Amino acid sequence: MLLAEYEVLIVSRYFLALLLTIAIEAAVAWLFGFRTLRPQLALAGINCLTNPALNLLLLVLAARGVQAQLPLVALLELGVVVVEWRLLVYALGGPPRRLFLLSLAANAASFLAGVVLFWR
């Protein structure tokens, strides 16, 4: 496989992961009652920041010889929960406790889907 083909494969895998994250977290938000355009767009936009940032961090760690084992990824994902929660509070101004539960549930669902689909 040529390097360019490999790069396209890597980028498409990360793009697929981002799209799946947005879809899964949107479904969880819908179940939480966030069914209008504003919260759905806010969550999608936030995921467009946090998902690539987490994946980039994992790539940097891998380049430094740190293996992305499940406990490390779960710990980093908890950091994402907090960041997304604070961004949701800022963007939506809703009740912080409810938005924390949304962030936790949405990230748990997308994390578990990622484990099932992408973990080797």
pLDDT digits (tens, 9 = 90+) for 28-72: 999 999 999 999 999 999 999 999 999 999 989 999 999 989 899
Which residues constitute the domain of residue 18?
3-118
Q: Is the model's pLDDT at 22 over the cut of 80?
A: yes
> What total number of domains does the chain contain?
1
CA-to-CA separations, 6 to 13, 48, 89, in angstroms, rounded: 11, 23, 39
Closest CA to 49 of 11, 21, 78, 7: 21
